[in-house]
Structure 1
Amino acid sequence: MSFPDLEISEKTKQSLNVLNTVRAYNRRLILEALKRKSITSVSVVYDGYGDSGGITDFEVNGGKGEADLTDKVVSQVVEPLAATVFDEELTLKDLIESLAMELVESDHGGWENNEGGSGTVTFDTQAMQVRVEHVENYLSHEEYTHIY
């Protein structure tokens, strides 16, 4: 989404740069850890509506399945207001879930509100990428008036 007439402060630009750098670091950390364990992909399925939602399914392809995701990793976390970065130790599964929902929220903020939305976030070690497939639900009305 682009807003060409919107002025963005230098501090906001710096915060966004820090956030994007941390996301890239965590994405690479996850994909490399999965690849070392011979996991070809991990899919995180989410769904929500009516102001609540979350992860509904988690699928691991290759390796030893979810058993491979219990290792601890040191990820990076951004404190948004100060744009400071600190390390946090999580299981690989917790980091995958956290980054998946952060990526959904970054482009589809409020996805769980009203009629909601759903989708799948796939961590693909063969392509070394994360793919977000998102569906937004909405209610549609068509009104007609006829005078004879």
Structure 2
Amino acid sequence: MTTDQPASPEPQFTPVRFDHEAWLIDDAKRRADFVKEMAALKTSLFDTLASHGIVSLTVTFDGCGDSGQIEDIAAFDEHGQVALKGLALPGPDSQPEGIPDAAAPERIEDAIESLAYDLLASEHCGWENNDGAYGEFTFDVATRKITLEHNERFTSSELYTHEW
């Protein structure tokens, strides 16, 4: 049987090459952008906490089996634990035209939770996978520092062989 159609060329295999140098440059840019965003958020967050007499904050997290969550956010003033309900970060100074909710202040709990997830991802990507990890962030308002205590879980196996 003859055909008038041209033969299709055989598909050619083109190896994929990972550009490690480009990845390092992109990663450095992402990290620098994250540091800038975090610095601005920390300023706003710590200013808001201080203005309400909060001296410290703890955020606990737990994850495993490809799932992880913030377990608790607890705020403390000089007398003990206090509620964060109703506190919000200041909204933008000007509202862009056509975006009605742009100037709405962000709930402080949402900002803290988002920051905790971002910090976990930046330092311990995959903290929620397999056996997972758990720990606690401490926000010290006086020093304006956030400390992370991170505990990784892992399954261990030891082989013993005996012959008699």
Q: CA deviation at 1:89?
A: 4.3
Task: Decide whether aligned partners of structure 1 residues 69 and 99 sit closer, same or farther in structure 2, where only a CA change above 3 A counts.
Answer: farther
Q: Which of 77, 82, 86 matches 1:65?
A: 82
| Partner amino acid, structure 2, of 1:73 | P
Q: CA deviation at 1:104?
A: 1.2
Q: Residue deviations 1:49-107, cap 9 Å, x none?
A: 111110111211017822465324348xxxxxxxxxxx984111211111012111111
The secondary structure found in structure 1 opposite 2:71 is strand
Larger RCO of the pair (alpha carbons < 8 Å, separation 6+): 1
Cα distance in 2 for partners of 1:107, 1:42 equals 20
The residue correspondences of 1:23-102 to structure 2 (distance < 5 A) are 23-62=38-77, 65-67=82-84, 70-74=87-91, 89-102=105-118
| 1:124/1:130 contact within 8 Å kept | yes
Please give the TM-score of this superposition, normalised by the length of structure 1.
0.77
In proportion to residue count, which structure has more strand? 1
1:80 aligned partner = none
> Highest CA radius of gyration, 1 or 2?
2
Task: Give unpaired runs (5+ residues) of structure 2.
Answer: 1-19, 93-102
Task: Give unpaired runs (5+ residues) of structure 1.
Answer: 76-86
Task: Decide whether aligned partners of structure 1 residues 72 and 56 sit closer, same or farther in structure 2, where only a CA change above 3 A counts.
Answer: same
| Superposition RMSD in Å | 2.6
The secondary structure found in structure 2 opposite 1:27 is helix
The secondary structure found in structure 1 opposite 2:83 is helix
2:127 aligned partner = 111
Cα distance in 1 for partners of 2:59, 2:132 equals 17
Identity, % of aligned positions: 30
- Report whether the alignment pairs 1:13 with 2:28: yes
| 2:133/2:152 contact within 8 Å kept | yes
Cα distance in 1 for partners of 2:152, 2:63 equals 10
